[in-house]
Homo-oligomer: A and B are copies of this chain.
Amino acid sequence: MSSQLKPGTSNACNITALSLACEVNDVLRDISPRWKMQVLHKIAAGTKQFSSLKLAFPSLSDQILGKRLSELVDDELIDKVIIEEKAPKRIHYFITDKGLELLKIIDDLHQWGLKWY
């Protein structure tokens, strides 16, 4: 048993937010889909193309990768830059500032996992 709150401490805790509003729900729902944060991380690490991302995750299908990429674009976590319109299309993905800030927190989560799992 660890860190019980002292009785009479008026229910305050050292967590900044006094009430975890729905934003956290939304954030968690948006970051939890399988592969999504790994793909984001890979893009942050410089992997720009669909095909290279495919190679990076052999057990991830084209379809799911496409879905995750469009989600990441919709979330404004990555930017999609069209290099060549005509087939064979060439598109590059880049992480945004918003995505980079999120990744820092995801990395904290990773560190927490390493410590406690």
Which A residues between 50 and 106 are near B, CB-CB below 8 angstroms?
76, 79, 81, 94-98, 100-106
Pairs across A and B, CB under 8 Å, 19 listed? A1-B79, A1-B96, A3-B94, A5-B44, A12-B45, A13-B44, A16-B107, A20-B110, A23-B113, A24-B113, A27-B109, A27-B110, A27-B113, A27-B117, A28-B31, A28-B37, A98-B116, A105-B108, A105-B109
User: 16 new A-B pairs (CB below 8 Å) besides A13-B46, A76-B116?
Assistant: A1-B79, A1-B81, A2-B98, A3-B94, A4-B94, A5-B95, A15-B107, A20-B38, A20-B107, A23-B114, A24-B106, A27-B110, A27-B112, A101-B116, A102-B112, A105-B108
